[in-house]
Amino acid sequence: MSTDYSDRNPDLAALYPAHIETLKARHDNALEKSGAGHAVIFSGKAKVAFLDDRSYPFVANPHFVAWAPLVALPLSYIVYTPGEKPVLIYYQPRDYWHSVPGAPDGYWTADMDVRIVHTTDDVAKHLPVDRDNCILIGEIDDEAHAFGIDRVNPTSTLNILQYARGTKTAYELECLRLAARRGAAGHMAAETAFRAGKSEFAIHQVYCETVSQTDNELPYSNIIALNEHGAILHYTDLDREAPADMRSFLIDAGAQVHGYASDITRTYGNGDARFGALIERMETMQLEIVNRVKAGVDYRDLHVDTHRLLSEVLNDVELASGDADTLLATGVTSAFFPHGLGHLLGVQVHDVGGFMENESGTVIDPPSGHPFLRLTRVLEENMVLTIEPGLYVIDLLLDNLHGSPAESHVNWDTVDALRPFGGVRIEDDVRVLADGSENLTRDAFASLQ
């Protein structure tokens, strides 16, 4: 399997032209229904910290990155006019304080009319003359960057484009596979560092070195959680000192390739038999959920089914007792598993469009009692999503069960025994097929064995 992440990757080069044709068709549809003749997509601008001259890390507009794999190109534009080659207005400032983008190079250049500009004033001459016939897509916090285009991020246009983004092209799927391999390599190195007794900060350094990405280049902040920190869902503090007793390790970390992300979570024990058995039981449950993924499945049902399966796990490991209906109705499963089963994945980690029923933007609400579910759509072929069930000892949530009918269904002694380990989460990135799924994460790990 290829691990070439560069612009010379022959697989990406072969797949990119068809990807561009798909983007053209989607924008043709959006422009026609919006009554516009041109789409102007702004890459974005670095934001300056308050009362400072230092910028926050630049994050490119995902609509821009979907056209071109340029995640570090601020103040640039793509102009698409139906029937014409996309124009890339490539901003290359003359600057000796900072590094500037190099000459445009790579597989993507053949499908773009690349026009280099050295000042933002030069951008205007490459934009359509009739600004009233344009739609601008991107974050505009300075009117000068709109160049007189009044229709900025019209809801109807964004709905059409973002609904369509739910399904991935062959090019995007290959980027996601590469991102999965890159992330899996980092996870394997991180597990080795955990086994060697490294601190959270040191494990994070090992991960970044292995995937060859800085914190700013990662698709999201790594969760590197030892022991009870595994119960903090978005833990990113990174202790510099290793704990005296290394009981458990939860890592939620990804990598990106040309703007496309992987999002992988694994949990490891360090010899405790009860915690090891819990990890194995959660692994079995997670794979059972993955096996239910296929086109036509309502993801809301999959999420609720996960809670029912979790009730079996809670009984098996003696954390709770009671049938599935009771443990769901009393809130026991939600106290142990408070987040959603997963989300769409693509050029954004939490890719847009997860709640959309159609391109008109009709919203599909999450199931009652499950407000944090990020994906409520019926699954379609070539969607890519995460499957990430978890089980944690979160005192804030479990304390709410005291004095309620749920209290008698929880085995509080087992809760106390599990608390020092934090919790368990296992997450794979999964592509939906017509009658099954492709597990990008498991395939990535297998390719590195």
Q: Tens digits of per-residue pLDDT, 387-424?
A: 999 999 999 999 999 999 999 999 999 999 999 999 99
- Whether the per-residue pLDDT at 436 is higher than 70: the answer is yes
Dihedral sign from CA coordinates of 61, 64, 69, 70: negative
Domain interval for residue 213? 170-447
pLDDT band at 259, cuts 50/70/90?
A: very high
Last residue of a domain, one of 136, 164, 192: 164
- Whether the per-residue pLDDT at 215 is higher than 60: the answer is yes
- Whether the per-residue pLDDT at 372 is higher than 90: the answer is yes
Q: Is residue 383 part of a domain?
A: yes
CA dist., res. 428 & res. 225, Å (int): 18
pLDDT band at 6, cuts 50/70/90?
A: confident
Phi and psi torsions of 242, nearest 5°: -75, 140
- The two three-digit tokens of residue 36, written as one number: 């516009």
45 Rama sector, left if φ>0, alpha if ψ -120 to 50, beta otherwise: beta
Q: Is residue 141 part of a domain?
A: yes
Phi and psi torsions of 103, nearest 5°: -65, 140
CA dihedral 338, 343, 345, 348 (to 10 degrees): -70
What domain count does the chain have? 2
N-terminal to C-terminal alpha carbon distance within the chain: 12
Q: What is the pLDDT of residue 1?
A: 47
> What are the tens digits of pLDDT across the range 228-254?
999 999 999 999 999 999 999 999 999
Q: What is the pLDDT of residue 343?
A: 98
Last residue of a domain, one of 129, 145, 164: 164
Query: What CATH number does the domain containing 26 carry?
Result: 3.40.350.10
Q: Is residue 2 part of a domain?
A: no
CA dist., res. 337 & res. 307, Å (int): 8
Last residue of a domain, one of 164, 189, 214: 164
**188 plus 91 within the same structural domain:** no
Average predicted confidence (pLDDT) for the chain: 97
**148 plus 289 within the same structural domain:** no
> What are the tens digits of pLDDT across the range 293-347?
999 999 999 999 999 999 999 999 999 999 999 999 999 999 999 999 999 999 9
**186 plus 159 within the same structural domain:** no
Q: Is residue 153 part of a domain?
A: yes
**180 plus 311 within the same structural domain:** yes
Q: What is the pLDDT of residue 2?
A: 59
- Whether the per-residue pLDDT at 9 is higher than 60: the answer is yes
Q: What is the pLDDT of residue 110?
A: 95
**332 plus 385 within the same structural domain:** yes
CA dist., res. 346 & res. 233, Å (int): 21
Q: Among 1-5, 17-21, 24-28, 208-212, whose mean pLDDT is lowest?
A: 1-5
Stretch 272-295: mean pLDDT: 98
pLDDT band at 271, cuts 50/70/90?
A: very high
Q: What is the pLDDT of residue 3?
A: 79
**310 plus 425 within the same structural domain:** yes
Q: What is the pLDDT of residue 442?
A: 98
**197 plus 119 within the same structural domain:** no
**134 plus 243 within the same structural domain:** no
> What are the tens digits of pLDDT across the range 66-90?
999 999 999 999 999 999 999 999 9
**86 plus 159 within the same structural domain:** yes
> What are the tens digits of pLDDT across the range 113-133?
999 999 999 999 999 999 999
**64 plus 210 within the same structural domain:** no
Of residues 98 and 79, the one with the higher pLDDT is 79
- Whether the per-residue pLDDT at 269 is higher than 80: the answer is yes
Q: Is residue 1 part of a domain?
A: no
**290 plus 149 within the same structural domain:** no
